[in-house]
Structure 1
């Protein structure tokens, strides 16, 4: 394989091919990977005369080599140049910090390096779910790398490590407080969490070699460096579709309840009863099994009977979940607040729509001004829709 910039395709790559065929009677390479150019933040080509050259050593000193490497991989989409956005590099530095904190959490709770290449045996739905998510991520990364889609591979492991493992799995297995004492994570979850963290480190190593190697050895004694570790196996036999559906349902329900609480200004510490309507037997069984997680993550407790008075409603699958709010918030004041906010958001949305519908503005304004107006219009439209949904929840 030859790796080259697309700007020298005809000046260099094509001539290499022609001269190889002419003089050597063979092609000099069989695969040509053309990457984009790294441009300034505004899309202009970097030039010393323009003074817009970015020194990578300065970025490494500020954010670390791993963050810069991951930025380059995540932004490397075939046929597209890379705009040097320092904010994104900073974001990937934050990703490295997130991973570091996850490893510290693991160490503090007795989670150590895994001793097996295959997924540990699991009985709990949350552990079956994260094993399935890990296998799906390995599959996605393998397919992306086979197609030279380095951006797809980087983003697949980023989304899994940040969202699924750190934001949800570690929260779901986090030990509860029993009086003044913190509980313990069960042995099964410790084994699964250690195995999943190992898979993350191996998958991330080509993109972020320094922090992953450091954490690899920090998690426990190893007989080899991370660079020599076996690549994860995507064994679909370890996937449990029913457990995955249950935990996905739990995550959606928690997200909907959190959104409703936030939009309606429910005090964060308030514990609410959760009534359910039109739920089938499977949903009721899930509610019973996941009651501790719902109490901890959404601050709700399943209650029998019908809710009375003002309430918020969220719908997940076939069931409607009702959160009584009488005495928790001032319902009339909240309706008034939401109505005023909706009117303000719609006014700004319509004003921006009128500006974008003006051909004179679109043709004469600077491209960045037009793009900003489009982004602002999308934001205001989304805000109006979100506020309408919040008002609708109050009935």
Structure 2
């Protein structure tokens, strides 16, 4: 803020003078009122101007107090006069200088009350006219008296025309701390407080991390942990608040202080005839919070809950409270319980605005989670948070991703409705059912793989990997492919054994999905769990999947071949602008015996999903334009005569490829230019990269489409 700098002459005592003959030292201050509690003047020990007076005294104007001149590196020879007034009771830096000078905290002078009004100091040297005066009024009075005493050094200003004017103070922009609640200037104020010997408490917690008793994940945070703990200062645990655990200390009428767990114990310590008054301060919030792992379980009583839950396995915490809370829990736990409160400490990132900036009310970039829940659902927001959490890195808020996970929930809901409408319901078995069809054996194996991926990801605390595993299994394998691949079986006439098997397998798989997805999307999964049939209990207490089955390699190969064939044919049609519903013939070249067997078993499925009719396996493809698709060792040739104008399509694709390649090359040139990457706005660089990736992918797609045209 815009403030002032006053310069005062402090007279040297005992007839001492500086080497240049001056009988005073000039000091500067932004808070003149604090000179009423000055206890020293500091100069730099390397400053030759003051070498002869170090250890001598000045006699303060107004109070007449004799204070020493001390050598301390806090005084900067290049700043102002090189001499600074020291008020240990009302300035953090001065407090440390005073301690280094041998002034004990008990002897430091205090000149303010709780309302920042002047009180008499312990030595009684403050003139009566200052006592009871507000700090800012006292400031004006000090300046007036120093000016009257001839001890104020005026600030001179020379105008352009040469005119010189004098002012009481030099205008300066100064750092000033304001309280965020009261909006007033914070006044450093020396008071008696209760402290904990944090350095001693910290040692067992440090050792626990060093020896691996506590594992910090990600490990990169260990360096920060050790830096804080190795440099820890005494911990001030008393607070002047209305609520909290009161300090267990009582002050007796005999002038002594009694610390005890209860007032009865304090009275016993004080003895007969001593009246007690309990300290009105309460413990620091972090002190009380540090007791959480065991105080919530009945401690200091040795309860069953305490025996069962202490120590715990894992603490999940934001990295921003590693020192404030997590380290203090470790300190308290090892001290009071003799064991660390948990085996692992996982530190996750913070949610930031979409552009990566920290959310701030003043910036107006905060996001109300309740608004997102109203719009997209709690499940979608919860899944977003898990999917974005990657080992402590901050999360950029992306509403489009939340919307995408809302669509994922809708996809699951529609899949469950499809199952219900086809006679698929709750599974009667926890174990994987027996299956003969390749597609059913394949999906059981996919469940096995997904459970294994989830177990590993959760054990490694990779919540993003866990969310990614269940997401792709549900959306890709189950919804997009398995349900499509079993439609011909379910729609076949009559109650075939294959249909019965498929319903049993599909019901079991859907149950496993609900259990695996429940930690990420608890509401929709619990709803579907009960909607699919009668249950013995709620999903939240259901057993975690243990399929006790293996991956069927043959079924996996065959089913993935079917998926690849359908995907490639659909992609080729899309690239060439052919309607998805257009029915094409497919001639097979170079297929081995295994592929021929798969083709014979996929005749109906290929007609339904890829809209192709297989020609007899020994027939050669006719002459003319074709699409050629390679899957494994076999080439599938699809004649295009009468379907599209080949020449026109080649011309269209060539022009489109040239245009998009030109755009990609231009963007590549911009991104290769250091001047653009370093000087452009980050969002502009990010957009250029995204556009380049999009154009490059489009060029690859068009080139592949041209290559397909035989």
The reply to whether TM is greater than 0.5 is yes
- Residue 74 of structure 1 is matched in structure 2 by 387
- Residue 267 of structure 1 is matched in structure 2 by 579
Alpha-carbon separation, structure 1, partners of 2:384 and 2:327: 30
Aligned partner of 2:621 among 307, 312, 328: 307
Residue 386 to residue 196, structure 1, CA distance change in 2 (3 Å): same
- Residue 506 of structure 2 is matched in structure 1 by 193
RMSD of Structure 2 on Structure 1 (CA): 1.9
- Residue 86 of structure 1 is matched in structure 2 by 399
Residue 183 to residue 115, structure 1, CA distance change in 2 (3 Å): closer
Q: How does 1:1-395 map to 2 (within 5 A)?
A: 1-22=314-335, 25-175=338-488, 186-237=499-550, 239-304=551-616, 305-308=619-622, 309-395=624-710
Alpha-carbon distance, 1:336 to partner: 0.5
* Contact 2:488–2:604, Cα closer than 8 Å, also in 1: no
Alpha-carbon separation, structure 2, partners of 1:267 and 1:78: 45
Secondary structure at 1:267 match in 2: coil
Deviation string 1:132-158 (CA, Å, 9 cap, x unpaired) is 001110111111111111211111111
How many residue pairs are counted as aligned between the two chains? 393
Alpha-carbon distance, 1:23 to partner: 5.5
* Contact 1:175–1:182, Cα closer than 8 Å, also in 2: no
Secondary structure at 2:599 match in 1: helix
Secondary structure at 2:635 match in 1: strand
* Contact 2:490–2:499, Cα closer than 8 Å, also in 1: no
Alpha-carbon separation, structure 2, partners of 1:121 and 1:19: 54
Alpha-carbon distance, 1:373 to partner: 0.8
Unaligned ranges ≥5, structure 2: 1-313
Alpha-carbon distance, 1:272 to partner: 0.8
- TM-score of the pair, normalised by structure 2: 0.54
Secondary structure at 2:343 match in 1: coil
Alpha-carbon distance, 1:178 to partner: 8.2
Alpha-carbon separation, structure 1, partners of 2:491 and 2:451: 37
- TM-score of the pair, normalised by structure 1: 0.95
Secondary structure at 1:161 match in 2: helix
Give the greater-gyration-radius structure (CA): 2
Deviation string 1:363-389 (CA, Å, 9 cap, x unpaired) is 111111111111111111111111111
Residue 104 to residue 22, structure 1, CA distance change in 2 (3 Å): closer
Alpha-carbon separation, structure 1, partners of 2:695 and 2:675: 22
Alpha-carbon separation, structure 1, partners of 2:341 and 2:503: 51
Alpha-carbon distance, 1:328 to partner: 0.7
Alpha-carbon separation, structure 1, partners of 2:605 and 2:357: 50
Deviation string 1:269-312 (CA, Å, 9 cap, x unpaired) is 22111111111111111111111111111001111322221000
Alpha-carbon distance, 1:29 to partner: 2.9
Alpha-carbon separation, structure 2, partners of 1:126 and 1:219: 22
Residue 182 to residue 63, structure 1, CA distance change in 2 (3 Å): farther
Pick 1 or 2: higher relative contact order, CA cutoff 8 A, min separation 6: 1
Alpha-carbon separation, structure 1, partners of 2:704 and 2:589: 19
Secondary structure at 1:186 match in 2: helix
Deviation string 1:97-149 (CA, Å, 9 cap, x unpaired) is 11110111011111111000111111111100111001110111111111111
Alpha-carbon separation, structure 2, partners of 1:138 and 1:191: 19
Alpha-carbon distance, 1:25 to partner: 4.2
Deviation string 1:38-61 (CA, Å, 9 cap, x unpaired) is 111111111222221111111111
Residue 130 to residue 23, structure 1, CA distance change in 2 (3 Å): closer
Deviates more, 1:18-27 or 1:242-251: 18-27
Alpha-carbon separation, structure 1, partners of 2:367 and 2:494: 48
Alpha-carbon separation, structure 2, partners of 1:186 and 1:43: 51
Alpha-carbon separation, structure 2, partners of 1:53 and 1:108: 43
* Contact 1:136–1:234, Cα closer than 8 Å, also in 2: no
Alpha-carbon distance, 1:19 to partner: 4.5
Deviates more, 1:19-28 or 1:285-294: 19-28
Higher helix proportion: 1
Alpha-carbon distance, 1:27 to partner: 2.5
Residue 178 to residue 195, structure 1, CA distance change in 2 (3 Å): closer
Secondary structure at 1:31 match in 2: strand
Alpha-carbon distance, 1:95 to partner: 0.7
Secondary structure at 1:43 match in 2: coil
Secondary structure at 1:222 match in 2: coil
* Contact 2:470–2:517, Cα closer than 8 Å, also in 1: yes
Alpha-carbon separation, structure 2, partners of 1:177 and 1:370: 51
Alpha-carbon separation, structure 1, partners of 2:697 and 2:390: 28
Alpha-carbon separation, structure 1, partners of 2:328 and 2:531: 50
Deviates more, 1:48-57 or 1:344-353: 48-57
Alpha-carbon separation, structure 2, partners of 1:234 and 1:222: 19
* Contact 1:338–1:387, Cα closer than 8 Å, also in 2: yes
Deviates more, 1:165-174 or 1:266-275: 266-275
Alpha-carbon separation, structure 2, partners of 1:24 and 1:374: 54
